Amino acid sequence: MMNEYELSKIREIFSRLFVLAIKHKMNLKSFTFLLEKSTFINKIEKNIYDEYFDKPIEEIFNAITGLLIENDDSYGIYNDAYWAGYSYFNLYIFLHKNFAYLFLKLPLDKMLDIYSIFHEMDVSALIDYFNELETKQTILRILCTNKHCSLRDINIATSININTLMKYNACDEALYNGSFQNIIKLALYFDVPISLFMKENYDFIIQEQVS
């Protein structure tokens, strides 16, 4: 169970990782790709994150990105990068969606773009904005756009029936209800975590929601 104190502490660590990524000029897509596939995120989503409380943040950053930084220069910086990390974590808390899904529907470059609009607003405004984004494109459609592939390409590579793919492409709910075999094939084809195809992050439970 994640209590209010633990929630605040792990969210702070998470947010400062974004500051480090941007200060060290990482490609935004590369950073979120590495982050969503990291042990750090996996453990947060499984509620086994307490080992990170006593780890230096530069050590956590190095393990995620492979970039060796000697000093933590993120402390006390509350800029657009920090806000982006903080906001993703709040969306994770309130919507119970995994991070791969959040990064897919609202990429980091777009999150940074809306900083000037949302950074002084209540988290509910960002949640409303994200809920609108969810309806615009399905998971599979975004993945295909990012990979520049068609449903036929997926069909040829994975042997998933084209009609099934069309259903997945039209509705996230159909994808969530897809067979485990198909989900594995799609995760391998797009090189994304299997968790992306889960409707909710069921492992995430907190004692009370904190804004």
Domains of the chain: 4-136 (no CATH), 139-197 (1.10.260.40)
Q: pLDDT of the chain along its 211 residues, tens only?
A: 567 888 899 999 999 999 999 999 999 999 999 999 999 999 999 888 888 888 999 999 999 999 988 888 898 899 999 999 999 999 999 998 999 999 999 999 999 999 998 888 889 999 999 999 988 999 999 999 999 999 999 999 999 999 999 999 999 999 999 999 999 999 999 999 998 998 765 444 333 333 3
Residue 46 phi, psi dihedral angles, 5° rounding: -105, 10
Confidence (pLDDT) at 200:
66
Confidence (pLDDT) at 198:
83
**Comparing C-alpha atoms, which of 200, 126, 195, 187 is closest to residue 157?**
187
At 33, list the tokens.
Answer: 């790709």
Q: What is the pTM of this model?
A: 0.86
Confidence (pLDDT) at 201:
53
CA–CA dist 92, 116 (Å, integer): 21
**Comparing C-alpha atoms, which of 143, 138, 78, 133 is closest to residue 111?**
133
CA–CA dist 163, 193 (Å, integer): 24
